[in-house]
Amino acid sequence: MAQAKKPNGGKDNFTRNLVIAVVVGVVLIMLVPTVLSKKSDTTAAIPSSVSVEDGYGMVFNKELTGVPFIEIYEDFQCPACARFESISGEYIEDLIKTKKAKVAFHMLSFLGSESQLAANAAACSADQGKFLEFHKTLYANQPAENSGAWSTQYLQTLSLGLGISSPDYDKCVQNQDYLGWVKNVAEEGAKRNVNSTPTVYINGKEIDRNKAYNSLAEFMLAVEKA
């Protein structure tokens, strides 16, 4: 090579080995904490409606037995989740209010940082008893993925329309109080092999991917049969 100055091959090897060591070292330094942070943090703060034994889901009608158990894995930024919400969301809300089903919402965040912000804010709204309203409103206002629309400020402003007046909500959104929970939910979803969103289980069995996600009638049928 043109730039070889030293007649001594050992010197060149030193440069090469140094470059390799630096690259591999830096990548390892980034990888190790990342792998460790992927473990569930059992000390993370969780809203009172979250049930650890139900995979950190946001559970409604937890005390009911003998009713269908609907588990929903979703990401606030996922368009198919917004579609599912607009098709079957109202029905699910009715089931909760009339105590005809136990429902667990798992807010995943695989689409990135705005999903995490939104999931954290959803947990904050749960503390104010407004999770279902927040859930519906956020999907109704879904922007393009990670376009910067869902800032902490935006999520705080949303509270006005939901009738949340407590400053605790604003603080919770600002400080991302439930970020640990957001990561734990994601981790549980990964362990359960949830590979697309939305994924909905009724009594532990996934609903028919070809039918029940896009049709209210089919979804109602699946709930009735359970």
Residue 32 vs 140, nearer CB to other proteins: 32
Distances, alpha carbon 223 to alpha carbons 87, 118, 132, 189, in Å: 14, 28, 19, 22
Per DSSP, helices labelled H in the chain are 9-37, 79-97, 113-127, 131-140, 152-162, 167-175, 179-191, 216-225
Bridge partner residues of 107 (DSSP): 74
Q: Does residue number 33 form part of the binding site for other proteins (CB under 8 A)?
A: no
Instruction: Compute the Cα dihedral for 46, 96, 166, 145 and give only its sign.
Output: positive
**Smallest separation, CB 207 to other proteins (Å):** 14
- Nearest Cα to Cα of residue 62 among 180, 53, 188, 108: 53
Q: Does residue number 44 form part of the binding site for other proteins (CB under 8 A)?
A: no
Strand 102-108 relative to strand 69-75: parallel, antiparallel, unpaired? Answer: parallel
Q: Does residue number 39 form part of the binding site for other proteins (CB under 8 A)?
A: no
Q: How many residues bind other proteins (CB under 8 A)?
A: 33
Stretch that binds other proteins, among 12-20, 51-59, 95-103, 128-136 (CB under 8 A): 12-20
DSSP 53: G
**Smallest separation, CB 61 to other proteins (Å):** 28
**Smallest separation, CB 185 to other proteins (Å):** 10
Stretch that binds other proteins, among 50-58, 81-89, 161-169, 184-192 (CB under 8 A): 184-192
Stretch that binds other proteins, among 21-29, 40-48, 83-91, 162-170 (CB under 8 A): 21-29
**Smallest separation, CB 60 to other proteins (Å):** 25
| Residues that bind other proteins in the complex, under the rule CB under 8 A | 1-2, 4, 6-9, 12-13, 15-16, 19-20, 23-24, 27, 30-31, 34-35, 38, 108-112, 186, 190-191, 193-196
